[in-house]
């Protein structure tokens, strides 16, 4: 009877040891699963950021390519007064605005080297923008193209 009891105790101890071993494995697997899930979420976030950066870059490149057309239309508008041209310019600028493009208002302002490029200096109030030679633009608050300006000396 004692042998049977000892054998049962031995089996029970063996089972308890095996259970502890399996519990350890389960804990390891849970930790691995949590790490893999966190890695996956980080990857998803990185992929989304990369997509957003690519979309911004493509938009930026496209807008940079069409800005010379806007410049030309504005130059034509300075010499020719035409209602159709005025409406076209207005629509063009409105479309750019919807895309997140904002014109840098430089004329009469203090020179800002973060948004403007001084091409010339002229007689006038020191460090004030006297004339805008080429408009500058921001895209979603980031510099797209600096305004080319004449600055007072």
Domain at 101-153, CATH class: mainly beta
In the chain, what are the domain boundaries? 101-153
Is the pTM value of this prediction over 0.85?
no
Provide the pLDDT for residue 31: 96
| Mean pLDDT of the region 128-132 | 95
CA distance 76 to 88: 12
pLDDT, tens digit, for every residue of 62-116? 999 999 999 999 999 989 989 999 999 999 999 999 999 999 999 999 999 999 9
DSSP single-letter state for residue 24: H
Q: Is 151 exposed, middle or buried (0-12, 13-18, 19+ CB in 10 A)?
A: buried
């Amino acid at each position: 009877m004692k042998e049977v009891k000892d054998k049962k105790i031995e089996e029970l101890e063996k089972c308890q040891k095996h259970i502890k071993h399996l519990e350890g494995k389960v804990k390891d697997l849970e930790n691995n699963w949590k790490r893999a899930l966190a890695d996956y979420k980080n990857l998803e976030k990185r992929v989304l950021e990369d997509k957003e950066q690519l979309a911004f870059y493509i938009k930026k490149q496209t807008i940079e390519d069409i800005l010379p057309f806007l410049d030309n239309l504005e130059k034509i508008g300075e010499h020719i007064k035409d209602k159709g041209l005025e409406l076209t310019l207005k629509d063009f600028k409105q479309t750019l605005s919807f895309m997140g493009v904002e014109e840098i208002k430089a004329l009469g302002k203090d020179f800002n080297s973060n948004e403007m490029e001084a091409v010339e200096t002229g007689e006038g109030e020191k460090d004030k923008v006297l004339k805008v030679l080429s408009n500058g633009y921001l895209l979603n608050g980031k510099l797209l193209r600096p305004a080319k300006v004449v600055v007072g000396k």
